[in-house]
């Protein structure tokens, strides 16, 4: 290609001429490319390839990011679903194990021990073949005498009836003293017409506590059973080996222990009507008088190993007062049967608790004086009738409230 400039009659103009080459083979003309066309072509191809590679890289990166993001969401969803499944399984197992307040506790423990014993037996048999048996002479073996008597560790409460075979020299009073129940309890449980009617070889049913044993019939309720045996319904409900849950329902055929119950007289008795009001009088405990009585009324239930408190019977709305000056540490509804409850710390190692309240008149952190109104009697939580559940603790341990009341 050639560029030239010419002028004619005062006018100038430029012309561009191209160099053509004749291709004798193809019988055609071709334009002769300039010298820099090849580098331009290479650069163009490089840029096109770089753009293509960049687009592919961006596409692959975006797809990888999208896949990773949605895969992590999927994994998170599966993990959350797995955790929820574990929670549901755990809740189901807890409901099964806690059914009827531990009714399956003993079969579960026995089954677990049986499984562990079976595993130990199987594993032990794998190593037994390589161990030579050892000969034990009779004087190296401790002989244990067989006895039909059930040996109960001292201090552990019994949860069921014990069948006792009368031995020579036994009397109902000695048997009652041995099992720490009353003579009347054994007499009632075995329908004895006289305490002198037993003889060696007889079998006696011994209840775990002093009171009555009742087989639940259709239509029975905790209140009706307690009324029949002149016992406190709350005591029957909270006795742990009656396995009564929060529904307060009884099963037909269930064996019910009635702590402190008495055999009803054979003649019909007139219907009992609860008084409409509780006289404003306080029970005399004869303790050291560190604390004042928190509410007026009589004692419905005394302290025991399963109920470390006293229940003070009073009408709905009866005022509950602080037994001593202190600071409120709890003032809310509590699970575990307490219902509305107030706890007061007295700063000397003592803490008092007031449960089943109908209303609460104080708040956490509030300082109260002795005799100050902190709530009202009610029947919230695990409760069968209006009363105040009053506990005293010292150093974190329960003590008998009657020992510190006047």
Q: Does 402 or 141 have the greater pLDDT score?
A: 402
Instruction: Evaluate whether 401 touches 303 at the Cβ level (below 8 Å).
Output: yes
pLDDT at 230 over 60: yes
Cα(226)–Cα(236) distance, integer angstroms: 7
Q: Two tokens at 177?
A: 């003293």
The answer to whether 355 and 404 are in contact (CB under 8 A) is no
In angstroms, the CA 12 to CA 164 distance is 143
pLDDT beyond 50 at 138: no
Task: Please tell me the total count of domains within the chain.
Answer: 3
More confident residue, 277 or 312: 312
DSSP E strands in 152-191: the ranges are: 162-165
What is the token pair recorded at 75? Answer: 């994994």
pLDDT mean over 286-315: 86
- The confidence band for 374, taking pLDDT boundaries of 50, 70 and 90, is very high
| Rounded percentage of the chain residues whose pLDDT exceeds 70 | 75
β-sheet bridge partners, residue 14:
5
Choosing from 144, 175, 206, the residue where a domain stops is 206
Q: What is the mean pLDDT of residues 367-390?
A: 92
3-state secondary structure at position 98: coil
160-178 tens-digit pLDDT: 788 899 998 888 888 988 8
Quick check: is 89 in a domain?
A: no
In a domain, residue 150? The reply is no
User: Domain for residue 53, yes or no?
Assistant: no
Specify the pLDDT at position 88: 87
Domain finish residue from 184, 206, 228: 206
Per-residue pLDDT tens over the stretch 318-327:
999 999 999 9
Examine residue 44 and state whether it is found in any structural domain, yes or no: no
Interval 182-194: pLDDT, tens: 888 888 888 787 7
User: Using CA atoms, how far apart are residues 145 and 295, in angstroms rounded to an integer?
Assistant: 56
Which residue do the tokens 């054994």 mark? 186
- Whether residue 92 lies inside any domain: the answer is no
**Within a domain: residue 45?**
no
Burial of 7 per CB tally in 10 Å (0-12, 13-18, 19+):
exposed
Q: CA-based angle 149:204:175, to the nearest 5?
A: 70
Q: What is the DSSP letter of 384?
A: S
- Within 8 A by CB and 6+ apart from 313, the residues are 278, 297, 298, 299, 300, 385, 386, 387
Residue 6's pLDDT is what? 52
Residue 19 Cα to chain centre, angstroms: 100
Expressed as residue numbers, the domain containing 197 is 162-206
What sections of 266-352 are H helices per DSSP?
A: none
User: pLDDT-derived band of residue 151, with 50, 70 and 90 as boundaries?
Assistant: low
Residue 195 within a domain: yes
CB 320 within 8 Å of CB 375: yes
- Exposure of 110 by Cβ count < 10 A (0-12 exposed, 13-18 middle, 19+ buried)? exposed
Which pLDDT belongs to residue 279?
38
Q: What is the mean pLDDT of the chain?
A: 78
Which CATH number does the domain housing residue 399 bear?
2.70.70.10
Confirm whether 118 is domain-assigned.
Answer: no
- Give the Cα separation of 245 and 149 in Å (integer): 33
Whole-model pTM: value is 0.45
Q: Tell me, what CATH number does 166's domain have? A: 3.10.350.10
Q: Looking at the DSSP assignment, which residues form a beta bridge with residue 377?
A: 357
């Amino acid at each position: 290609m050639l560029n030239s400039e010419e002028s004619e009659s005062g006018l100038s103009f430029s012309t561009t001429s191209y160099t053509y080459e004749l291709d004798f083979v193809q019988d055609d003309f071709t334009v002769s490319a300039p010298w820099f066309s090849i580098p331009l072509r290479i650069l163009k191809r490089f840029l096109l390839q770089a753009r293509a590679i960049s687009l592919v890289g961006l596409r692959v990166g975006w797809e990888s990011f999208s896949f990773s993001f949605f895969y992590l969401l999927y994994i998170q969803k599966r993990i959350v679903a797995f955790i929820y499944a574990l929670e549901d399984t755990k809740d189901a197992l807890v409901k099964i194990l806690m059914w009827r307040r531990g009714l399956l506790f003993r079969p579960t423990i026995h089954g677990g021990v049986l499984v562990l014993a079976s595993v130990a037996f199987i594993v032990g048999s794998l190593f037994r073949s390589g161990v030579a048996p050892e000969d034990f002479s009779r004087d190296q073996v401790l002989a244990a005498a067989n006895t039909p008597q059930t040996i109960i560790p001292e201090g552990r409460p019994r949860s069921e009836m014990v069948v006792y075979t009368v031995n020579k020299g036994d009397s109902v009073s000695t048997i009652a003293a041995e099992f720490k129940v009353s003579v009347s309890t054994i007499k009632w449980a075995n329908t004895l017409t006289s305490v002198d009617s037993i003889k060696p070889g007889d079998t006696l049913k011994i209840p775990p506590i002093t009171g009555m044993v009742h087989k639940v019939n259709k239509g029975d309720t905790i209140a009706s059973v307690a009324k029949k045996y002149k016992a406190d319904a709350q005591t029957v409900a909270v006795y742990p080996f009656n396995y009564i849950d929060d529904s307060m329902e009884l099963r037909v055929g269930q064996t019910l222990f009635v702590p402190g119950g008495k055999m009803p007289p054979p003649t019909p008795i007139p219907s009992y009507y609860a008084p409409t009001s509780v006289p404003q009088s306080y029970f005399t405990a004869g303790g050291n008088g560190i604390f004042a009585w928190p509410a007026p009324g009589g004692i419905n239930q005394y302290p025991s190993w399963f109920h470390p408190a006293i229940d003070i019977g009073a009408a709905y709305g009866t005022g509950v007062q602080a037994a001593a000056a202190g600071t409120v540490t709890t003032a809310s509804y509590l699970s575990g049967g307490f219902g509305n409850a107030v706890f007061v710390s007295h700063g000397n190692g003592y803490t008092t608790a007031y449960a089943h309240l109908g209303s609460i008149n104080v708040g956490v952190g509030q300082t109260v004086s002795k005799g100050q109104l902190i709530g009202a009697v009610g029947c919230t939580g695990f409760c069968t009738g209006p009363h105040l559940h009053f506990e005293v603790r010292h150093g974190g341990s329960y003590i008998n409230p009657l020992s510190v009341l006047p």
